[in-house]
Structure 1
Amino acid sequence: MSQAAGRQYHIGLGEADIEGARYALLPGDPGRVPQLARGVGARAVELGQHREHCSWLAYIAEQPVLVCSTGLGAPSTAVAVEELANIGVTHFIRVGTSGSIQPHIDYSDLVISKAAVRLEGTSSHYAPLAYPAVASFELTASLVASARALDIPHHVGITASSDTFWPGQERYDNHSGYVLRRFQGSMAEWRQLKVTNFEMEAAALFTVCATFGLSAACVCGVIAKRVESEEVRPEAYGLAEQRWNAVLAKTLGERLSRKPEK
């Protein structure tokens, strides 16, 4: 049996495991998978864990939705997308945390990415740097419509996806306290260019999915305000989680309840 038809090497899942799910929610942290699955679905079932990829099925509008962690950063995200596509997933939504770099974006607000700056290296293995990292319009518009309908604070913008948590996001609280010259002043430059936030996966997700003809979107909760400090505030996570769960449940509930087109 070919790998495409059977159990995938890294995620440890096969086509039969996901029960025909076409949508996948992709948190980075394996520890967040159970809460996310339970938070968006009427019921949720654990599938298992292989490496950094913890997987559950959530049932929304009586349809299965896969929740699978990607691990931290772009390389493992690309691996997860490739293998999930092999077993039939066509729509991918990254769900994670982020640091805002615009003063009007507050703690626990949601940022829905319409595109991403390719500060990571993984996407260049799929397309040249001139190729844009752009989210799927229809899927992203559904998330925005849900956030508006629920009156949840949100922002639609361009995300900067870095390969590193510290230097690439111009954090001076790293081990050495030093940031390479090419990153010094970079946060102010991205702010001037109206970039909304830093994270580490969206650019790879958007690029990989676009080159494969798949749909991708990204929603992140703000747990750091970089215009104020480099501090991450874990207490902002709970409200952000409530907000993205509500947006995702509404979005997927509506999309999965639609009658299939003839």
Structure 2
Amino acid sequence: MDSHKPGTTTNGNQLRPQKSIPGYGLEFTNLSYSIIKKLKKDGVWINKEAYLLHDISGQAVKGEIMAIMGPSGAGKSTFLDALAGRIAKGSLQGSVRIDGKPVTTSYMKMVSSYVMQDDQLFPMLTVFETFMFAAEVRLPPSISRDEKKKRVHELLDKLGLQSATHTYIGDEGRRGVSGGERRRVSIGIEIIHKPSLLFLDEPTSGLDSTSAYSVVEKIKDIAQGGSIVLMTIHQPSFRIQMLLDKITVLA
């Protein structure tokens, strides 16, 4: 299929359309993204435009999770990248606004964080050391080390990682944190500086149902703290769906 229908935004708990509030939160209007594919027709190679996203509009607001769902190949990650400013402007059509104002790529990078599907962590560091390293890199020098430690401990508490504070991240050769804890550490790194927007690509991928629910539960807490949260997710359980505020379905 060369194009996708506009996303349908619904309420995660009641599955009914939501009314947008113009000029509030993150608004996206008529987003389209296409690439040129080379096809062979009658022995001749021709260029054909293929839409990965087509005319998608909607809104994500502070305090809520907006989940992006759809079958494999529907463009979920592409859509998330488009909203996060990770797609070249020249190839993306439509508009993205925050609180009614147009968003530049540099501004989006300043106010948002992006959690990738694959965790990229140092196995030889403990959870505490990982967060302290993130604090040193992401927080301004004007913030004292004691204040950074305080923020790290608050983060450990917020993400339910107190019991894993001094546990190594680990890898195939070294025993470390569990898969769910590992994912929460990845999220913690990206929210240490308290971004206004948080983007997550398949945060429950590869996790069992209990760990997946725990991760989304913590993401819900982050949203309710005043952030705008958008995430892609594949076939969430009914329990997880109850934690979602809006669902945008790409078909």
Normalised by the size of structure 2, how large is the TM-score? 0.29
**Greater Rg, structure 1 or structure 2?**
2
TM-score (normalised: structure 1): 0.28
Structure ranking higher on relative contact order (CA contacts 8 Å, 6+ apart)? 2
